[in-house]
Amino acid sequence: MPSTDKPIALVIGAGDHLGSAIARRFAREGFHLVVTRRRGDLDALSSEISALGSGATAIHSDARDESQVIDLIDRVESELGPVRVAVFNVGGNVRYDICETSTRVYRKVWEMCALAGFLVGREVAKRMLPRNEGTILFTGASASLRGGRGFAAFAGGKHALRALAQSMARELGPQGIHVAHVVVDGLIRNEVTAEFLPDLYASKGENGIIEPDGLAEIYWQLHRQPRSAWTFEQDVRPFSEPW
């Protein structure tokens, strides 16, 4: 990976919708993007970022694996430059009634939501602390605040991620690192969600679905906040969504 003189934004979980939208938003501000996902195509996103006049480094990496996370952060910092912003955007949303939730499913969801968030947050913090600056952003969900039928595993993982973010914010904030958590309290426009929750998705109508680009703007604004007025948590929903 050739070094760059641009600030670096790392997006863990750069999927086809929100993750990609976040990457594009930071690319428009002149960041070099390091985009990762466990599997799936990253070439299309890299091309979009290049078309915006920025650079992209695409890496397939499993955020649940400690050695892979350590290697990823080491490579970026040593070969590209310091990470200015890190976004943890790994999902893990599955739906099983409690008696149908296997230990394997529960553990896998916890690994994706909580363990992976811990590993990424820890390794990025190690690099940011000596510089006394940086932004770490975590993507939460409605399940970060409340459990729902069929979502015991997902709610457990997202509750744990929110607690991690709270602890990190209190520890790292006074040392110049902004840690924030975004509660996505609604459905994001994408075909995967439409297939996973077809009745709920259809019931929301055109005005009840969150647009990825609009949500990505919040991540950018969190990074841009002055130190005298940092937000820890931002909860987001469409205007038509009841509280």
DSSP 7-61: -EEEEES--TTHHHHHHHHHHTTTPEEEEEESSS--HHHHHHHHHTT--EEEEE-
Strands 177-184 and 83-88: unpaired
Report the Cα–Cα distance between both ends of the chain, in Å, rounded. Answer: 46
Residue 2 lies in a domain: no
Which residues of 38-161 form beta strands (DSSP E)?
56-60, 83-88, 134-141
- Contact between 8 and 32 (Cβ < 8 Å): yes
The whole-number pLDDT of residue 92 equals: 86
Question: Amino acid letter at 1?
Answer: M
CA distance 112 to 92: 6
Cβ atoms < 10 Å from Cβ of 225: 13
Look at residue 242 and tell me if it is in a domain. no
* Crossing angle of helices 103-110 and 152-172, rounded to 10°: 30
pLDDT 10s digit of each residue in the chain, 243 long? 666 789 999 999 998 899 999 999 999 999 999 999 999 899 999 999 999 999 999 999 999 999 999 999 999 999 999 999 999 999 888 899 999 999 999 999 999 999 999 999 999 999 999 999 999 999 999 999 999 999 999 999 999 999 999 999 999 999 999 999 999 998 877 777 677 667 766 777 777 888 999 999 999 999 999 999 999 999 999 988 776
Q: What is the pTM of this model?
A: 0.94
Strand partners, 158: none
Confirm whether 69 is domain-assigned: yes
Non-local CB neighbours of 55 within 8 Å, separated by 6+ positions: 4, 6, 32, 33, 49
Nearest to 225 by CA among 186, 169, 184: 169
Domain coverage including residue 93: 8-235
Half-sphere exposure of 83 (CA within 13 A, CB side): 30
What pLDDT shows up at residue 1? 61
Q: What is the pLDDT of residue 2?
A: 62
What pLDDT sits at residue 208?
A: 81
User: What pLDDT is recorded for position 4?
Assistant: 78
- Residue 1 CB partners (closer than 8 Å, separation 6+): 57, 75, 76, 79, 80
Domain annotation covers residue 135: yes
Query: Is position 148 within any domain?
Result: yes
Return d(Cα 109, Cα 93) in angstroms, integer: 8
Q: Which residues on neighbouring strands pair with residue 184, listed in sequence order?
A: 141, 236
| CATH number of the domain within which 125 lies | 3.40.50.720
- The closest of 136, 146, 144 to 170, measured between CA atoms, is 136
Secondary structure (DSSP) of 187-217: EES-HHHHHHSHHHHHHH-GGGEE-HHHHHH
Domain count, the chain: 1
CB atoms < 10 A from the CB of 206, how many? 8
> pLDDT value at position 99?
97
pLDDT given at position 240: 82
CA atoms within 13 A on the CB side of 14: 31
Per-residue pLDDT, 118: 98
Residue 119 lies in a domain: yes
Residue 1 included in any domain = no
- pLDDT, position 243: 65
The whole-angstrom separation of Cα 14 and Cα 219 is: 14
CB atoms within 10 A of CB 137: 24
